[in-house]
A and B are shown apart, each in its own frame.
Chain A
Amino acid sequence: MPAPVVAIIGAGQAGFQAAASLRDTGFAGRVVLIGDEPVLPYQRPPLSKSYLAGQSGPDDLWLRPAEFYAKQQIDLVYGDAVAAIDRGQRRLRLTSGIEFSWDHLVLATGAGCRPLAVPGAELDGVLALRTLADADALRQRLNEAREVVVVGAGFIGLEFAAVALASGAIVHIVEVTRQPMGRVVSEPVSRFFTNAHIGWGAEVALGTGVVRILGAGGRVNGVETNDGRRLPADLVLICIGVIPNAELARGAGLAVDDGIVVDEYLVTSDPAISAIGDCANFPTSFAPVRVRLESVQNAVDQGRCVADRLAGRPAPYGKVPWFWSDQGDLKLQIAGITIGHDTSVLRGDPAERNFSVFCFRGRQLVGVESVNRTADHVVARRLLAGDPQLSPELAADESYDLRSHARRLPGR
């Protein structure tokens, strides 16, 4: 019987990790890793941070050097996309015409930037940020830009805004909701970062939508908002969230609902197909609803989980989610999923730019957001790995030693 073939579609952080971990686990079959970008697998987080700021170069981005893939016997195919999946025959076809057969398929297809459906979105100088090519284009434009409009105040938008402000550009941030990063962080942290950006010189318009993007000669020169203002701009970044890349899965008849639907083992509605990373919609004990998380942690840990299963050691996925964002001199670290919390308490002092917000559902700690306060973040990750047994009152009491509390809990 020939050795089994695992084909992994998507060579981002999740796909890369699944391939590397298959080899770490001693998987003896063939591993094919297919990426549609024309470069080696790389890290995305620096694209909106140090890489964009010119503090790191492409050689700092590669997850591993080219030789790694040969040495690990990972068949890396890049710059070629998957055109179709044939579940019946267990084959897949690339746009170049190459075909592969597989015994297990891992979908690590990631997500793409949500387009802004307004007139003018196609103008030169209106950019998005997801890929290395996007970052290269943006970095070049930023060098020449004087006035920048950032549409969407999520992580990417605010990280970009911080870099643009530091580069000396005039920056307008336009956000349709009243709460920047509101999908991910609590109100106090959102407000703190809004004020930080204002302090760095950004003009922030909340509760404001974009009606159209203005231009002349095919080139952007401004943004018109729904309160009738015209913001001048020679560079516009659209960063209003992502859409999971689920077209292949949908085309193959798999269940899709805000991402590719998987069970607690990260298996899709076809037991021969898994989905991991940004594209996977999975059940979790960390939230009252199914979630789809866009983070390095989620990509890496789900890649490992699938590799372990394929190597014969199945276990449900249950890692503590964590995230980070660098904006100016502020480091935001999040443990757990704070969405849907009903109580929050503060530890530390926002005025000192050193604090954490502990978020609770009822009396249960569900997540902690820390600003320049790594020690709290570390404790939070330990606490959330089981029952935290931490009340809001103790969380808010700075004289209470959280580290000792975490150490007293079983298994941590």
Chain B
Amino acid sequence: MPKVTYVHPDGAREVLDVPLGTSVMRAAIVNGVDGIVAECGGEMMCATCHVYVEPDQLDRTPPQSDDEKAMLEFTASERKPNSRLSCQLVATAEFDGLVVYLPETQV
């Protein structure tokens, strides 16, 4: 099962097993990772599951849809080139070792 590392703004790290087909957002919710709010539950209606993907690992993640790009305008923390909605990061085998950084705030 892919292991994904969540890095909090204070540098604390949590490593989770993210089952294939499960999103980085859902895994965080199920495991009680603070810093992912996921207000809309993964429907791409909000931007409260915002993460920054380790820049040199972006190619392991699925491409951004136009809808995700549009919704990223609502991030409460700064939008960066490596900003993603973690509900759209659905784990594949390539996610093993993925590192995502949690933003300062989601709302």
- Taking CB atoms and an 8 Å cut-off, the chain B residues in 48-107 that contact chain A are 66-67, 70-71, 73-74, 107
- Taking CB atoms and an 8 Å cut-off, the chain B residues in 11-66 that contact chain A are 26, 29-32, 39-41, 43-45, 66
Chain B residues closer than 8 Å to A382, beta-carbon distance: 73
Interface membership of A60, Cβ < 8 A: yes
Main secondary structure of the interface of A (DSSP, over half): helix
Question: Which of B39, B41, B43, B73 makes the CB contact (< 8 A) with A378?
Answer: B73
Number of interface residues of A (CB under 8 A): 26
- Taking CB atoms and an 8 Å cut-off, the chain A residues in 317-352 that contact chain B are 322, 324, 326, 333
Q: Are A374 and B39 in contact (CB under 8 A)?
A: no
Chain B residues closer than 8 Å to A46, beta-carbon distance: 41
Question: Which of B31, B45, B70 makes the CB contact (< 8 A) with A65?
Answer: B31
Interface membership of A112, Cβ < 8 A: no
Q: Are B30 and A296 in contact (CB under 8 A)?
A: no
Question: Which of B31, B32, B41, B107 makes the CB contact (< 8 A) with A43?
Answer: B41
Name A381's closest neighbour in chain B (CB-CB): B74
Number of A-B contacts (CB under 8 A): 47
Name B73's closest neighbour in chain A (CB-CB): A378
Cα–Cα, bound, A203→B40 (Å): 32
Cα–Cα, bound, A63→B40 (Å): 10
Interface membership of A45, Cβ < 8 A: yes
Interface membership of A401, Cβ < 8 A: no
Q: Are A45 and B41 in contact (CB under 8 A)?
A: yes
Report B106 CB to chain A, min CB distance, Å.
10
- Using known A-B contacts A378-B70, A378-B73, A378-B74, determine if residue A64 contacts B43 with beta carbons closer than 8 Å: no
Q: Are A300 and B29 in contact (CB under 8 A)?
A: no
Question: Which of B26, B40, B74 makes the CB contact (< 8 A) with A296?
Answer: B40
Chain B residues closer than 8 Å to A64, beta-carbon distance: 29, 32
Known contacts A63-B29, A374-B71; 16 further A-B pairs (Cβ under 8 A):
A45-B43, A59-B30, A64-B29, A64-B32, A65-B29, A67-B32, A71-B32, A296-B39, A296-B41, A296-B45, A333-B45, A374-B67, A374-B70, A375-B70, A377-B70, A378-B70
